[in-house]
Amino acid sequence: MKKIYSEGKAKVIESVDAFLNDEARFSRDISIALAKSTADSSTRVLDPTAATGIRGIRYALETRARNVTFLEINSKAYRVLKKDIALNKLDAVAFNKSFQEFANTTDEKFDIIDLDPFGSPAPYIYDMMKISKDGTRIMATATDTAVLCGAHAFACMRVYGAAPIHSDICHEVGVRIIVGYIARIAAQFNYGISEVLAFSHRHYMRAMMKLAHGSDSVKNSISMLGYIYQCGRCGYIGYNRGQFPSLISCPLCGGKLSVGGKLWLGSIYDKHAIKSISGNVDEGSEAMKLINSIGNELDVPAFFSVPKLTKLMKIGAVSPAKVIECLRQKGFAATPTHMQKDSIKTNASIREIEQCLAVLNSNK
């Protein structure tokens, strides 16, 4: 007897021939929640790396979208996919084709393209643009986090055309590298990006956005590209839009700067998307907890690790919550971040943070 996996309203066959990652349910929950508010009966959805089809099947069963197309290049997985489509009683189209082959042979344009590949989404983005249009919602997962976090810096340059930062802020830098890469490829097709929602969760990073056609949108997106730089000696973090930063050493202590980019320096927490998702996920669920956390996060390009700063200052441990309180009392904005535990986002300078840390340490 075949074992059935259930998720949302979908049911799929558990098979060694088709990869099924139950830990990615969170990612699927977020995407479906957004589509519940944005999709209608005319919405065309593409699940281009389908495997069992769990993602596309949930779109068909849980949102108002009724036109879902599935792609699966592996012939064994494709046979499982066809059975899963039948099991859920869907009138859907599935192709045993690669994303590239499909994109180069179809005239269809899609409203939602939800890409969940093994490894990097980068090889698929160019073909994704071929079958997009003004208003298409792009969703892409990256599981090559070691590459994006700088453990394999050359690979990141090769795949994304961007340098990572191998430090505590690597997940934020990695997420922004993905968004920046998509923005650069989209610009070649005269698309800008908007309504960006991107996050890091467990073993993957996820970027969601909407395409906007036209030169003004492209110019706006390109203007959001730049670099993040971090000092390994004092923890200073700076940003530079446009050209590569001219700084060679830290302006505060003279330490060596690590530079990440090109990457996206614009917003990655679209408030409308967060509101749409929060209204369509279960109260108390993992998805709700993360969305609430993101919704309360200060939307700035990087964060500061409190444990790292106390180590650099050679002082005892300090509560991140107390640092946030101290900065707020000084009139600055400060919040926790979902990117990394015990870290904060703030519009205060590193010197202001250091002052709070020193005072809090002395008051213990």
Residues 52 and 170 reside in one and the same domain? yes
Distance CA 82, CA 102 (A): 17
| The predicted structure's pLDDT at residue 202 | 85
DSSP string, 288-300: HHHHHHHHTS---
Question: Where a domain ends, among 295, 323, 339?
Answer: 295
The count of domains in the chain is 2
Residues 167 and 230 reside in one and the same domain? yes
Cβ 8 vs Cβ 61: under 8 Å: yes
- pLDDT values of the chain reduced to their tens digit, one per residue, 364 residues: 689 999 999 999 999 999 998 888 999 999 999 999 999 999 999 999 999 999 999 999 999 999 999 999 999 999 999 999 999 999 999 999 999 999 999 999 999 999 999 999 999 999 999 999 999 999 999 999 999 999 999 999 999 999 999 999 999 999 999 999 999 999 999 999 999 999 999 889 999 999 999 999 999 999 999 999 999 999 999 999 998 888 889 999 999 999 999 999 999 999 999 999 999 998 888 899 999 999 999 999 999 999 999 999 999 999 999 999 999 999 999 999 999 999 999 999 999 999 999 999 988 7
Residues 330 and 250 reside in one and the same domain? no
Residues 278 and 326 reside in one and the same domain? no
| The predicted structure's pLDDT at residue 1 | 62
Residues 208 and 347 reside in one and the same domain? no
Residues 327 and 237 reside in one and the same domain? no
Residues 352 and 272 reside in one and the same domain? no
Residue 348, helix vs strand vs coil: coil
Residues 83 and 228 reside in one and the same domain? yes
Cβ 8 vs Cβ 58: under 8 Å: yes
Question: Where a domain ends, among 295, 321, 343?
Answer: 295
What CATH number is attached to the domain comprising 154? 3.40.50.150
**What angle, rounded to 10 degrees, do the helices at 25-38 and 54-62 form?**
30
Cβ 182 vs Cβ 113: under 8 Å: no
Burial class from Cβ neighbours inside 10 Å (0-12, 13-18, 19+) for residue 264 reads buried
Question: Where a domain ends, among 249, 276, 295?
Answer: 295
- How many other C-beta atoms lie within 10 A of the C-beta of residue 5? 16
Residues 233 and 357 reside in one and the same domain? no
Distance CA 234, CA 309 (A): 7
Going by C-beta distance under 8 Å and a sequence separation of 6 or more, which residues neighbour residue 52?
Answer: 5, 12, 13, 15, 18, 19, 20, 77, 80, 81, 84
Distance CA 241, CA 237 (A): 14
Residue 335, phi then psi, degrees to nearest 5 = -145, 160
Tokens 């400060």 correspond to 334
Residues 234 and 329 reside in one and the same domain? no
DSSP string, 84-102: HHHHTT---EEE-S-HHHH
> Please, what is the Cα angle at 51 between 136 and 32, to 5 degrees?
40
Reported as type and span, the H/E element at residue 175 is helix 170-188
Task: List the domain range (segments joined by +) for residue 328.
Answer: 304-362
What CATH number is attached to the domain comprising 345? 3.30.56.70
Residue 170, helix vs strand vs coil: helix
Distance CA 18, CA 49 (A): 11
Residues 265 and 316 reside in one and the same domain? no
Say how far residue 40 (Cα) sits from the centre of its chain: 24
Distance CA 334, CA 325 (A): 8
Q: Which of 344, 303, 308 is nearest to 327 (CA)?
A: 344
Residues 180 and 220 reside in one and the same domain? yes
- How many other C-beta atoms lie within 10 A of the C-beta of residue 54? 27
